[in-house]
Chains A and B, each alone.
Chain A
Amino acid sequence: MQRYVNIVLGSVLTLLAVSLLTFVLMKLVPGGPFDGDKVLPPEVMAALNKKFKLDLPWWAQYLDYMRGLFVFDLGPSIKYPGRSVNEIVTESFPISFELGFYSLLLSIGLGLSLGIVAAVYRGTIWDYSAMILAVSGVSLPSFMVAAIGILFFSHTLGILPAALWDSPAHKILPTIVLGLRPAAIIARFTRSSLLEVLSLDYVRTAKAKGLSQKKVIVVHALRNSLLPVLTILGPLAASILTGSFIVEHVFSVPGLATHYIQGVSNRDYPLVMGVTLLFAVVLVGMNLLVDFCYGWLDPRMKDLT
C-alpha cells in the first residue's frame, strides 16, 4: 500500500512542478496577447491587462491561476472573448481522446500481431517482412503517411475524406496515420520480449511434456512476454500525443493540439496552461495505470514495497 501512496504523491508533486515550469516558460516567451497588427491605445491596453490580471507580477498570476485550478477553473480565454478555457477544453478533449484511443487500439492490435508472428517464425521470411515493416514504420514521418493516404484514398479513389472530424469515415485516415509509429514500436518490443521468454526453461518444459506449439505460446509464453510490453505504454501514450500535433494539423481535426498551437502563437496564456496541464495529467495518469496494472499482473512486484 505504501508503494501506491508514494507513487500517487509523486505524481501530484510532478504535476505541480510541471505547472510551475510551463508557466515560467510561457511567460518568458516574448510578446503578449495584445501585440496585434494595430497598436492599441495605452488606456485600452492597461484595461485589458487589468482584466486578465496581466498587470500583476508573474508569481501572483501563477498563484491566482493555481487558486482557480483548485476548483477546476482554467480561467477565461484571452483570444476567444467570452469563452472559458474549460469550454474549449471540454469541446476538444473528447476529440483528441477519441483519436488517441483508436490509434492506441490499432497500434496494440497491429503491433502485437506483427511482433508475435515475427518471434514465432523467427528467421523466416515472415520475421524479416514484419521487421522491415516495423523499422519503416519507425522511420516514416507521419506527414508522409498522411500525404500518401490523402493522395491515394481521398484524391485518386475518392473514398475517404481528407480533413475534418465528423463521420466515422473521417476518422479512418487520422487514426491510421497516428497509430502506425506506435504499432511499429510495439511490434519490435513484443518480438524481443517473446523471443526472450521462448528461450526460458519453463517453456522448454512445456514443450517437453508434449504441448502443442500453439498452446505453449498462447498459454505459457505470451502472458509473461506481454508484461514488459505493458511498461512501454506510458512512453507510447507520449508518442501518440506528440504525433497528434501533426495529425490534427494535417487533417484539420479540432482537437487539443490544434488549440495548443493557436494558443501559443496568440499568447493565449490560460489556454496554453490548460492544454499543457491536461496533456501532463493524461501522461501521468497513463504511467500510474501502468504501475498499478504491473503490480496486479505480476504478483512478485507486491513484495518490492
Chain B
Amino acid sequence: MAYKRKDLLGMKDLTKEEILYLLETAQKFTEINERDVKKVPTLKGKTVINLFFEPSTRTRTSFEIAGKRLSADTINFTASASSTTKGETLIDTVKNMEAMKSDIFVVRHSYSGAVKYIAEHTDAKVVNAGDGLNEHPTQALLDMLTIRQSKGRLEGLEVAIIGDITHSRVARSDVWAMTKLGVNVRLFGPTTMIPKHSEVFGCRVCKSMNEAVDGADVIIMLRIQRERQGKLLIPSTKEYAKYFGLTKDKLALAKPDALVMHPGPINRGVELMSNVADSDNSGVLKQVTNGVAVRMAALYILGIGNNKGGIDENAS
C-alpha cells in the first residue's frame, strides 16, 4: 500500500508516489462506473459522513455517489461555518459525529486549515472536500486523471490555470500536485487575483491571456466568484470576459488538441464562452465523471486502510 496516511488533506504534503498511487487507483474505479450495475461491496458496513460547513451540491453529490457505489452508508450533514461561532464548537460537532461510530468524514469548510484542524481532533479518516482558499485535493486528482486520459501522460505538459488564483483552492491543489509530477504550470489572471508572493508556487506567471494560452496542452479556467470576492477585484464580468475569458480566438493560440477544463459550475460568457465549453476541446463533463472515480479511490484507500495514522504522521 503506497498511501499510509490517515487522511487526505491536500496535495502539498503528498509525495509524487502517493499522488500516482491515488491516480492509478482512481483509474481502476472508472471501470466500475461504466458498468450496468455500478456497485461493489468494498466499503459495506462503513459509515461515511459528508460534513459540509459550506454550501455545495456537486462535490457533495459526487462524494455521495462515490460512497454509495462502494456500498458505504453515506450521510449528509450540512451546517454553516458561522453556526459554530454561536452554538457548538467545530470540534464538538465533529466529536458528536465521531461518537456515532463514523469511519470517514468528507469535510468542506469555508476557512483555510479547518479540515486539517478537524483531522487532528478525530480518529476517523478525513477527506478534504475543500477548505477555504487552501486545498481541494480530489479536484486536483480528477483534473490530473482527466488530463492523463486525454494526453496519455502528465510530465512535460504545458498547463495554463487562468482566473482568480489568490482565492482558489483548486489552483493551489493543482499547482502543488502537478508541479510534483513534472507538469509545466503557468498562471494568469487579473493582477488583483494573483498572490503577491506567487513565486512560492514555482510556476510562470503570465502577463497576458495570449501568453497564457500560447502553445498550451491544457487550459484550466477557474470560476469567477464576483459575489464572494467583492466587487473590488474586477470592475465587471463584462470586462473580465474581455481580458480573462477563454474565447474561440484565444483557444486557437493553444495546441490544436488543447484540453479545456473547468472545476464548475461554469459562468457561460464570463470565464468560458459557450462555443468553447461545448466544443470538442472541452473536458468539463469528463472531469465530472472522473470526479466520482477519484472520490471512490480516496474513500476506498482510507476506508480499507488499517493504519491509524495520527497527527505526527501527517504533520507538515
Q: Say whether A and B bind each other.
A: no
Spell out A's residues near B (CB within 8 Å): none
Spell out B's residues near A (CB within 8 Å): none
